[in-house]
Structure 1
């Protein structure tokens, strides 16, 4: 189902299992915290997990309102298979060129790129040198990766983002570098 930012369902039981599996059995093994700060989307499917992880691990948590998922307009709450059957031309056009062929009343990718890039930069600047766990959505993950790589939004949909997959961006004196996408928990 296309959830976007207009459909704010809680995580399913499978979603909870995926999220707990993603962060690993013990992010504090050897008493060395794996993250210093949790930042979350305001949407329920991210925020509820971030709150529980924060409480479990004794980590500070903040909500960044701009990290909400991209608005998919009239397609929110619908299944991609239904869209492909009911609106085949519009759905095919979107799949071919998601920049030029947004869903009706959907957020423009250029605006989304700006919103997410600014929010990401603001969080990195607010917590210099800290290891941040940003709990967010597939579209937000794609936009962060695009921002870090300075990739055109046209390329974002070529990035597969798994449910509860971990992406790591490392910042150093030379800027940001993408270390991995869709990893499962590992001490790295």
Structure 2
């Protein structure tokens, strides 16, 4: 049993360079706007013991900058990279609809049954992310953690915490750029309990993964 809870702030990366598209594993850095969004999403009052990040540049660049700025250790967990969209990567929603008809609409409605061509199966993606999430909690139990990651990764974590079926994990809530969520994990005599404390978008506009 642990006396102190683990507090984990999840923040989605800001706008990447290259404009709106399905990126997935495509490794673009943040745009100038993305950097502004990320700096606006954190404050001088925030206190973290460690920063954990996806290995992709749109997350890692900001995480390493913030860690150097505030003297905080940065840990990279590979399992927390974004889902691969296969043949959809680098394409806009309009491009995908033109090439694949209603497949994109069906993916958003039920990603379990509608994997993009050449893409990562959602059940495998969830298992990968939750393995990385478990690694984070085991490594930093009782600490205050900032996790810089992706919209799909945050959806998998929140679906697990809130008991949302994977089939509804991409349509159940919005995760725009620089959106912050806070999860508290308590270890008690009755087991481990995770709770979503807040989910705060910097903007209400939807954005692609």
Q: Which residue of 2 aligns with 1:75?
A: 88
Report the number of matched residues: 177
| Shift of residue 183, structure 1, vs aligned partner | 4.4
Does structure 1 residue 44 correspond to structure 2 residue 57?
Answer: yes
Q: Which residue of 2 aligns with 1:17?
A: 36
Among 107, 115, 121, which residue is 1:94 paired with?
107
Q: Which residue of 2 aligns with 1:168?
A: 182
What is the CA–CA distance in structure 2 between the aligned matches of 1:155 and 1:90, rounded to whole Å? 16
SS in 2 for 1:86: helix
What is the CA–CA distance in structure 1 between the aligned matches of 2:99 and 2:200, rounded to whole Å? 32
What is the CA–CA distance in structure 2 between the aligned matches of 1:68 and 1:148, rounded to whole Å? 19
Q: How big is each residue's C-alpha offset from its partner over 1:6-50, in whole Å with a ceiling of 9 and x where there is no partner? A: x100000010001111112x145xxxxx11100000001000100
Among 138, 141, 150, which residue is 2:154 paired with?
141
8 Å Cα contact 2:175-2:201 kept in structure 1:
no
Label 1:147 to 1:89 Cα distance change in 2 as closer, same or farther (>3 A). same
Cα RMSD (Å): 1.3
SS in 1 for 2:102: helix
> Could you say which structure has the higher strand fraction?
2
Label 1:61 to 1:41 Cα distance change in 2 as closer, same or farther (>3 A). same
What is the CA–CA distance in structure 2 between the aligned matches of 1:85 and 1:181, rounded to whole Å? 34
Question: Can you give the 5+ residue segments of structure 1 that lack an aligned partner in the other structure?
Answer: 29-33
> Could you say which structure has the higher helix fraction?
1
Runs of 4 or more, structure 1, over 6 Å off, are none
8 Å Cα contact 1:162-1:182 kept in structure 2:
no
Question: Can you give the 5+ residue segments of structure 2 that lack an aligned partner in the other structure?
Answer: 1-20, 203-209
Q: Which fold has the larger relative contact order, with Cα–Cα distance below 8 Å and residues 6 or more apart in sequence?
A: 2
Q: How big is each residue's C-alpha offset from its partner over 1:93-143, in whole Å with a ceiling of 9 and x where there is no partner? A: 223321101100111111111111111011111111101100000000101
What is the CA–CA distance in structure 1 between the aligned matches of 2:166 and 2:112, rounded to whole Å? 7
| Shift of residue 180, structure 1, vs aligned partner | 1.4
8 Å Cα contact 1:146-1:156 kept in structure 2:
yes
8 Å Cα contact 1:50-1:61 kept in structure 2:
yes
SS in 2 for 1:42: coil
Q: Provide the TM-score with structure 2 as the length reference.
A: 0.81
SS in 2 for 1:81: helix
Does structure 1 residue 84 correspond to structure 2 residue 97?
Answer: yes
What is the CA–CA distance in structure 2 between the aligned matches of 1:84 and 1:101, rounded to whole Å? 14
